[in-house]
Amino acid sequence: MQYKKLGNTGIDVSVIGLGTMTWGEQNNLDEACEQMDYAVTQGVNLFDAAEMYPVPPRAETSGETERCIGEWLSQTGKRADIVLASKVVGRADLAPDWKHIRGGSRLNRDHIRRAIESSLGRLQTDYLDLYQVHWPERATNFFGKRGYVHKSGADGIAIEETLEALSELVDEGLVKHVGISNETPWGMMEYLRLASVRGLAKIVSIQNVYNLLSRQFETGLAEMAIRENAGLLAYSPMAGGVLSGKYIGGKKPAGSRMALFERFTRHENPQAASATEAYKAIADKQGTSLAQMSLAFVCQQPFVTSCLIGATTMPQLRENIAAIDLSLSKDVLMEIEAVHNQYPDPAP
């Protein structure tokens, strides 16, 4: 396993991190524990969760992912070995599916306090290494939204209040460090500016989508991540499983995410399908799997701190973690760029 520093902290995190959003829905507790057991034997130390997991979000399963992690931590006693990250839900009236959490979550002091206390209880720990804002309070570009339409006066809770509340958690030792997720360049800049002028907690990471089909992070945010030492925790590095190649030709294998849940269509369009086929041809020529090539591409980016994989089966998990051993040559990277130029960011 390879490791990088988490921002300006002294914490080393594995370049392959473990995403957890299927636990409690597609995976039960025993399967989740098996995944965690295996991941740590391979050197994975970053576990990333969220208060709303598993997905798709439902009142009946909300918080089950954190409960799985908490049970594993209790059984194994490995809390000190894990860099544990979770997230506080963003504004619910911008994403109606999440209204079952606190009656409609907001990013103010009260909600953030209640969220961290609930997460710590489910996780059976007294602190988090990283606590992230899952998505912005304001209406802006996230979760695949293209095009920006400014809504004057609709920003809601100011980033300043959110960061003040997060900083209080750091001061109290409930949280070691804070980060953001699904943010824009302006949002990242504002968190950084307020930390500087107000002496508040500085964000150490940003968790956004990044994969061969969704490389928008490279414009604006990549430079900020490097210059501000707040690297990317890349989520959906396989584009929701599309970059495994299993959906090529319109296939939807039984038990797959797209077969089970209608909501996961973010990476499903003709351009993304064509790009996926082109990337698979490159992988086939190199004698590697499309999945491993896709993950290796993410891991090799200088602005990436950790590539957050997710798996529902052990064979998937083993293959994904093993991608850390694959180094893409300059020639392969040039071929990837040629496909990217032909199909630039086909999935938002």
Q: Choosing from 53, 191, 279, 343, which is the catalytic residue? A: 53
Beta strand pairing call for 83-88 and 46-48: parallel
179 to each of 26, 134, 314, 324, how far by Cα in Å? 27, 9, 29, 24
Torsional class of 223: left (φ above 0), alpha (ψ -120 to 50), beta (otherwise): alpha
| 183 contacts 308 by C-beta, under 8 angstroms | no
| 98 contacts 79 by C-beta, under 8 angstroms | no
| 105 contacts 156 by C-beta, under 8 angstroms | no
Instruction: Give 296-329 as a 3 state SS string.
Output: HHHHCCCCEEEEEECCCCHHHHHHHHHHHHCCCC
Task: Decide if 53 is catalytic.
Answer: yes
| C-beta atoms surrounding 201 within 10 Å | 23
For the purposes of burial, counting CB atoms within 10 Å of the CB of 199, is it exposed (0-12), middle (13-18) or buried (19 or more)?
Answer: exposed
Q: Residue 243: what are its φ and ψ, rounded to 5°?
A: -80, 15
| C-beta atoms surrounding 284 within 10 Å | 13
Torsional class of 213: left (φ above 0), alpha (ψ -120 to 50), beta (otherwise): alpha
| 106 contacts 157 by C-beta, under 8 angstroms | yes
Q: If we measure between CA atoms, which residue out of 157, 178, 181, 160 comes closest to residue 169?
A: 178
Place of tokens 């968790």: 207
Beta strand pairing call for 304-309 and 16-19: parallel
Q: Which residues are catalytic?
A: 53
